[in-house]
Amino acid sequence: LPGKQNLAERLEAALSQARLAFLKLIAAQAYELRKPVYIVGGFVRDLILERPSFDFDVVVEGNAINLAKALEKNYGGHLVSHSRFGTAKWQIDDVRAELIRYLPGDGHFDAADLPESLDLISARTEFYEYPTALPTVERSSIKLDLHRRDFTINTLALRLDGRHYGDLYDYWGGMNDLRRGSVRVLHSLSFVDDPTRMLRAVRFEQRFHFRIEERTLELIAEATDLLRQVSADRLRHELDLMLSEENAAAMLARLDELGLLRAIHPDFIWKNEWRERLESALVKPLPAEWDLPDSAGHMPARRFIAYLLWLMQFPLEAGLAVANRLRFPRPMLQSIQAVSLIKQTLPALSSPRPSQVVNELDGVSPLALYALRLDGLAPNLEILLEQYIHRWRKIHPFTGGEDLNRLGLVPGPAYRQILTQLRNAWLDGEISSPEAEQLWLSAMMKEIDPYA
Ligand code: ATP
């Protein structure tokens, strides 16, 4: 990787024809306005690492909203802009078919290849008035814009306009650190400005098999405690991102090693022996026969199961405390409790009747039961769980509340009791036909009112 570089060739190889032509269209518009325009950050990093990604934001040295307005005027779509930040989103999802006709070059472009929207950002710098505050924003040069970023490897900019097309701008030593495999902050207050960068450092380190650079490690050690003040939302966002990575378990192990989990909550830890379980939650296809819901508490099912599998390794009180610190939604707290209870009660039942098992498991989220299963159960208990999922939970009597009403029973708590007993009788094989159910009911009615 030599010093001064032009990445045009790589860019051409990495992007689809349509996306490339789309970029050139934007570059031409910027050139017309005499505004330098760049792709910045993750996209450039990934281009150099030969792990092409597809999403790019565009940074304009000048007012991005003006560029966005020109694009909208010439090519349609619509804009959502924020003048305070100098950012604009150019929404083109419903004009892509027309837009491809304007694209430079003679390619046969596929409209579906174009992004649905493009973020255009004015180069800006940020000040933090006090640690962990939200930054104050001000227009600036691309160089200063790059300086507010988290790590040097994310500070590379690829210029697009005019004769600069493809030029790589490396103001902060990003190439050097990419070459060395180093995750390095740009200045010593970086983690004070934004403690979540400590989690991001770990994510990039483990994703690329890099090392967090020595001085940056020292700065993490000094800033660890600042994580205590970070909101649950921001922490969860970073942890969610980790759980979507291939190396999720390695990231959690590294967080633990650096003391970052304990800074979030003293009971929060990770052990390598949990790795396989976590990975099976995140990667293994979810069994269709379990009819698992797609989500719980606004979390996709896999992520819910993964967090639960993690939190259920802790003693109950600790699991709940960590879940509260991270403001997990109610279904997570309920599942942690349910799983803990089942782990005690189920083994205590020696050769239980099906109705006893159903009694223990009904009302518990199937996601929690699946987590329990991935966690590993004694073989006899696993059989019970499977029986519950595949058969017992689906068994219900023909009779319902209305039928009891028709039989003259006054609505009340007795309904539920009778229906539960009736279901138990089915589950335990005392009833196995509709006729038998009717006989059972008549007998029951007589018991309640012997003169009926
Ligand atoms: P990924 O490959 O995970 O999407 P990315 O590098 O594209 O990573 P984003 O989270 O999409 O990262 O952020 C885009 C850019 O914004 C980053 O490259 C980085 O330069 C900057 N950035 C994001 N979050 C922060 C932060 N907390 N502090 C400073 N800069 C940040």
Whole-number Å distance between alpha carbons of 367 and 292: 6
If you search the block for the tokens 């027309």, which residue do you land on?
98
Q: Which domain holds residue 311?
A: 274-394
pLDDT averaged over every residue in the chain: 92
Residue 368 and residue 306 share a domain: yes
Residue 166 and residue 31 share a domain: yes
Whole-number Å distance between alpha carbons of 302 and 299: 8
Kindly report the protein residue whose alpha carbon is nearest to atom 28 of ligand 1.
150
Does residue 308 form part of some domain? yes
- Residue 1 reports pLDDT greater than 50: no
Average pLDDT of span 289-301: 94
- Residue 452 reports pLDDT greater than 80: no
- Residue 142 reports pLDDT greater than 60: yes
Does residue 418 form part of some domain? yes
Tokens of 99: 């837009």
Does residue 372 form part of some domain? yes
Whole-number Å distance between alpha carbons of 245 and 237: 13
If you search the block for the tokens 């029973």, which residue do you land on?
409
Average pLDDT of span 117-125: 93
Residue 312 and residue 188 share a domain: no
Q: Report how far ligand 1's centroid is from the alpha carbon of 326 (Å).
A: 22
Residue 174 and residue 185 share a domain: no
Atom number, ligand 1, closest to the C-alpha of residue 151: 20
Residue 429 and residue 388 share a domain: no
Residue 223 and residue 103 share a domain: no
Per DSSP bridges, beta strands 168-169 and 157-159 are antiparallel
Whole-number Å distance between alpha carbons of 320 and 200: 25
Contact 213, 207 (CB under 8 A): no
pLDDT tens sequence across 172-230: 999 999 999 999 999 999 999 999 999 999 999 999 999 999 999 999 999 999 999 99
Residue 354 and residue 279 share a domain: yes
Average pLDDT of span 390-409: 87
Of 186 and 140, the one with more pLDDT? 186
Q: Is the CB of 196 under 6 A from ligand 1?
A: yes
For 133, phi and psi rounded to 5 degrees?
-75, 165
Residue 173 and residue 224 share a domain: no
Does residue 252 form part of some domain? yes
Residue 216 and residue 144 share a domain: no
Give the residue from 112, 183, 125 showing the smallest Cα distance to 153: 183
CATH of the domain at 327: 1.20.58
Q: Is the CB of 181 under 6 A from ligand 1?
A: no
Does residue 3 form part of some domain? no
Give the residue from 96, 86, 94 showing the smallest Cα distance to 120: 86
- Residue 2 reports pLDDT greater than 50: no
Question: Quick one: pLDDT band at residue 53, thresholds 50, 70, 90?
Answer: confident
Residue 173 and residue 33 share a domain: yes
- Residue 132 reports pLDDT greater than 70: no
- Going through 140-207 in order, the beta strands assigned E by DSSP cover 157-159, 168-169, 182-183
Question: Quick one: pLDDT band at residue 447, thresholds 50, 70, 90?
Answer: confident
CATH of the domain at 239: 1.10.110.30
Whole-number Å distance between alpha carbons of 3 and 28: 27
- Residue 269 reports pLDDT greater than 60: yes
The number of distinct structural domains making up the chain is 4
Q: Which of 229, 264, 299 is the last residue in one of the domains?
A: 264
User: For 419, how many CA atoms within 13 A lie in the half-sphere containing its CB?
Assistant: 18
Beta-bridge partners for 88? 81, 120
> Which letter does DSSP use for residue 285 in this model?
P
Residue 301 and residue 163 share a domain: no
At 229 the pLDDT is 93
Kindly report the protein residue whose alpha carbon is nearest to atom 25 of ligand 1.
150
Residue 49 and residue 27 share a domain: yes
Kindly report the protein residue whose alpha carbon is nearest to atom 8 of ligand 1.
42
Output the CA torsion 151→155→156→161 (10° steps): 160
Q: Is the CB of 42 under 6 A from ligand 1?
A: yes
Which segment of 129-133, 168-172, 187-191, 408-412 scores lowest on mean pLDDT? 129-133
Mutate to test the pocket of ligand 1, among 39, 53, 126, 150 (most ligand atoms within 8 A of CB): 150
CATH of the domain at 76: 3.30.460.10
Whole-number Å distance between alpha carbons of 421 and 423: 5
Q: Is the CB of 194 under 6 A from ligand 1?
A: yes
Per DSSP bridges, beta strands 58-60 and 117-122 are parallel
Average pLDDT of span 408-423: 86
- Residue 240 reports pLDDT greater than 50: yes
* Percent of all residues in the chain with a pLDDT value above 90, rounded to a whole number: 78
Question: Quick one: pLDDT band at residue 399, thresholds 50, 70, 90?
Answer: confident
Question: Quick one: pLDDT band at residue 261, thresholds 50, 70, 90?
Answer: very high
Average pLDDT of span 352-371: 94
Q: Report how far ligand 1's centroid is from the alpha carbon of 191 (Å).
A: 14
302 contact partners, CB below 8 Å, separation of at least 6: 281, 282, 286
Of 277 and 108, the one with more pLDDT? 277
Task: State in Å, rounded, how far the first CA of the chain is from the last one.
Answer: 93
At 450 the pLDDT is 55
